[in-house]
Amino acid sequence: MNVIIQGRNIYVKATPDKVNVETLEVLFDRINDRIEEVSNIPKSKFLSRSRDRDFVQWRHIGMWLLCNENRFALKKIGLVYGGMDHSSVLHGRDAIENAIKVKDYYIVSKLQSLGHLQGIKPNKPYLARQDERTRS
């Protein structure tokens, strides 16, 4: 396994057969330390069971990074995320993948702030026209 830290970005390459729980926990800590640094949200908040949208999105991004870029098993990722089961991790991973497919402004911007998806231009966020917002 190679861990490369360039500036503030973390790039990890691991082979699935050589990954153990200690490695997963180290990467979990590094990824979530970086998320904490970028988001200015304490780790305790976005790793909690809170359903606040911002916390959930950052938690899902962490799961997506561990799933896709490091190829860890869903069950093991769930364990390091406070005992979540594999279906919660699967939902989080899929939510981020779907947001990337539609170039969701908020998710793509968050991933770019972590040093990922630099070549993708996110769609502009939807803002209702002034007359639609003032209607009752």
CATH number for the domain harbouring residue 17? 1.10.1750.10
- pLDDT score at 11: 53
Does any domain span residue 136?
Answer: no
Q: Is 100 exposed, middle or buried (0-12, 13-18, 19+ CB in 10 A)?
A: middle
Side chain identity, residue 134: T
Does any domain span residue 17?
Answer: yes
Going by pLDDT thresholds of 50, 70 and 90, the confidence category of residue 21 is: low
State the Cα–Cα distance between residues 36 and 135, nearest whole angstrom: 39
- Note the maximum CA span of the chain: 59
Residue 43 near residue 33, CB atoms below 8 Å: yes
Task: Find where tokens 């990337």 sit.
Answer: 100
The domain of 65 spans 2-126
pLDDT tens column, 55-106: 999 999 999 999 886 778 899 999 888 889 999 999 999 999 999 999 989 9
Partner residues linked to 13 by β-bridges: 2
Going by pLDDT thresholds of 50, 70 and 90, the confidence category of residue 38 is: very high
Does any domain span residue 79?
Answer: yes
Kindly write down the DSSP assignment for every residue of 54-122, as one continuous string.
HHHHHHHHHHHIIIIIT---HHHHHHHTTS--HHHHHHHHHHHHHHHHTT-HHHHHHHHHTT--TT--P
Lowest mean pLDDT among 3-17, 56-70, 87-101, 112-126: 3-17
Going by pLDDT thresholds of 50, 70 and 90, the confidence category of residue 1 is: very low
- pLDDT score at 10: 53
Average pLDDT, the chain: 80
pLDDT at 19 over 90: no
Number of domains in the chain: 1
